[in-house]
Copies of this chain bind each other. A is one copy, B any other.
Amino acid sequence: MSQAIDSFVKQNEERFLDELKDFIRIPSISTLPEHVEDIEEAARFVAKSMATAGLENIEIIPTGKHPLVYADWLRAPGKPTVLCYGHYDVQPPDPVELWHTPPFEPTVRNGNLYARGAVDDKGQMYMHFKALESLIAVHGTLPLNVKFIVEGEEEIGGQSIARFVAENPAKLKADVALVSDTAMYAEGIPTLCIGLRGLMYTELECQGPRQDLHSGLYGGAAPNPLFGLIELLAKAKNAAGLIQIPGFYDDVEEPALAEIASWQALPFDAATYLNDEVGSTCLTGESDRSVFERTWSRPTLEVHGIAGGFTGVGAKTVIPANATAKVSFRLVPSQDPAKILAAWEEFVSANTPNGLKMQVKKLSAAPACVVSPEHPAIRLAAEAFKEVLGRETVFTRSGGSIPIVGDFARHLGIPTILLGLGLPDDGLHSPNEKFKVDNFYLGIRTVAGFLEKYSQAGSVPE
């Protein structure tokens, strides 16, 4: 970024941090009804911050649940448009007793800002506001067009923004989206995440006898829906981690060899991963694949819970009438969630044990997203990141899913730059969530630098 921006950020670091602290002090917990006024206050705070940044056409948009906040700055005709995204809602702070300082009283210790929402996502969203403010302060204008959409339901499913994006593609139309809600691969390593796995989450419902039966009186003759689930699920994935649903791997696209090679160059200590991060004696899954492949570019089947029967203290001899398993599939490019769902339903139907009825209920479905590191916006973001941190940017994927990225791809037809300044140990959703203060400032510089660079790329043709 330009020297002038760098100086402006340096001069205003303290004020930027103080403003962020004010934002964080609002306990905008989206899942708790008693915080609905805090949610509204946070939305107003976002609107105010947008105004301070120099954005225009600010709207607080009511939804069925928590408001969206929109703003834009569109005075650079012929220049590209960047759609910035963030969320002002946070997770509950529980268990509160494990916090060293109060979760909504942001406190700096050892160069970290500790508070709920520090990194997820108030601090990271604030980098965008302050980058815009710095650009306008220094240049009197922005070098390109910006739209900004902020939601208050990210921690509870993000339904309102999903509907809004689907219904307002013209309003949000841009060349690229910029999201800062992820982490760097490791401290000091500029990282762009260019791939996310998709997710199909289902419930597998199994119906056995008409009512709960006594396992003494009926055991041996009456079908047990819990055991039926066990039989079917055991058939669905083998001991080598390969999913046995016919057609499941048909459309799986392998990453380019160059991308796999770049993962092999990432610092990775297998023993630390196994012992400290996973905390197990041995990894599972496809042993001929690296951990990066297994978690980033290979699909999975996981069981998250099985309901039905008795799980309290002690013994109850019940054959339950019903049982349900939560079963999800992580999807990779180019698996089609609808095709996978159909294959799963067919597998269930073909393998339902005698005497039981089974049904698949879809809870959510989203395809995987990937963007090429050669995409101009990604390339320029990588350059900006490298300039600020003084080290080559690495391209990673994440095994998780960020639904808004899929919504931007599907409804706006644009890729998303996942430019995160978090660190792997920031403790999102946990007690003592933190954000490294230096990363907050580096993020402001990186975002500003990217916008400057990207403004010179010219608008991507429609």
Contact = CB atoms under 8 A, between A and B. Distances in A.
Nearest to A202: B315
Contacts of A230: 229-230, 233-234, 303
Interface in A260-311: 278-286, 291, 294-295, 298-300, 302-311
A222 B355 contact: no
Q: Which of A211, A285, A318, A353 has the most CB of B within 10 A?
A: A285
A305 B313 CA distance: 11
A306 B239 contact: no
Nearest to A211: B279
Given A231-B234, A278-B210, A282-B354, A199 B295 contact: no
Contacts of A308: 305
Nearest to A235: B234
A32 interface: no
Given A304-B317, A328-B317, A241 B220 contact: yes
Oligomeric state, in number of copies? Answer: 2
A217 B285 CA distance: 14
Given A201-B315, A310-B304, A400-B214, A283 B219 contact: no
Nearest to A326: B310
B282 A209 contact: no
Given A280-B210, A305-B310, A220 B286 contact: yes
A226 interface: yes
A84 B397 CA distance: 73
Nearest to A314: B363
Contacts of A229: 230
B328 A215 contact: yes
A398 interface: yes
Contact of A197 (B199, B216, B279): B216
Given A216-B199, A302-B215, A223 B283 contact: yes
A449 interface: no
Interface in A311-350: 311, 314-320, 324, 326, 328, 330
Interface in A207-254: 208-211, 213-224, 226-227, 229-231, 233-235, 237, 239, 241
A220 B281 CA distance: 15
A401 interface: yes
A11 interface: no
Given A218-B399, A223-B282, A399-B217, A304 B309 contact: yes
B330 A226 contact: no
Contacts of A199: 216, 317
A411 interface: no
Given A295-B218, A354-B282, A309 B305 contact: yes
A209 B302 contact: no
A173 interface: no
Nearest to A208: B280
Contact of A280 (B216, B223, B239, B326): B223
A330 B216 CA distance: 7
Contacts of A201: 315, 317
Interface in A404-451: none
A364 interface: yes
19 contacts: A199-B317, A209-B280, A210-B280, A216-B400, A219-B300, A220-B241, A220-B299, A223-B278, A223-B282, A226-B305, A226-B306, A227-B303, A234-B235, A304-B315, A307-B311, A311-B324, A311-B326, A314-B363, A315-B328
Given A214-B400, A305-B311, 6 more contacts: A209-B278, A216-B401, A220-B299, A230-B234, A234-B235, A310-B326
User: Which 6 A/B pairs are nearest by Cβ-Cβ distance?
Assistant: A210-B279, A216-B400, A234-B234, A305-B309, A220-B294, A307-B311
